[in-house]
Amino acid sequence: MIAIRALIQLIQHRKEKAALCQTRAYLLSIDDRLLEDAGFSRDLLLKGVKAWPWKTEEYLQNQELVKSYSQNDLDTAASTLRGFSDKDLRDLGIGRGEIRHVVQHGRQGYDRDQNLSAA
């Protein structure tokens, strides 16, 4: 029984590693700007599967910041942005279809610490 569990775990581990290798190969094939927009680091991708999740430090810091907000805060922010005109959203560098993503992950190239200190 223990041997069967160990075999199942080994198979699952191999499948996960194969999926990571396939994902890494795909990510390495795309443009640097797209990688950056998604929060991936090409340098970490080049280090291999062992560097998973391949996310930039900025992306990880934004994730920690978002965790500090309640779901209600995020919903309110998204609702507020949805009320903006398309022109206002363009001025902010946000597409209407990106609102939820921007609220949850932040805008790429936005220096959160600099703007917080200016407030």
SS3 (DSSP) at 55: strand
Residue 119 within any structural domain of the chain: no
Residue 98 within any structural domain of the chain: yes
Residue 71 within any structural domain of the chain: yes
Q: What share of the chain has pLDDT > 70, as a percent?
A: 89
Residues forming beta bridges with residue 55, ordered by sequence position? 40
pTM over 0.85: no
* Domain containing residue 87: 56-112
Confidence (pLDDT) at 83: 94
Residue 46 within any structural domain of the chain: yes
Q: Do 49 and 65 reside in the same domain of the chain?
A: no
CA separation for the pair 6, 37 (Å, rounded): 39
Residues 6+ positions from 36 with CB-CB distance below 8 Å: 56, 108
The answer, yes or no, to whether residue 84 has pLDDT greater than 80, is yes
For the chain, what is the domain count? 2
Q: Do 77 and 101 reside in the same domain of the chain?
A: yes
Mean of the per-residue pLDDT values for the chain? 84
Q: Do 65 and 103 reside in the same domain of the chain?
A: yes
Residue 39 within any structural domain of the chain: yes
What tens digit of pLDDT does each residue of 42-72 get?
Answer: 999 999 999 988 998 888 887 777 777 888 8
pLDDT, mean of residues 93-106: 87
Residues 6+ positions from 51 with CB-CB distance below 8 Å: 44, 45
Residue 11 within any structural domain of the chain: yes
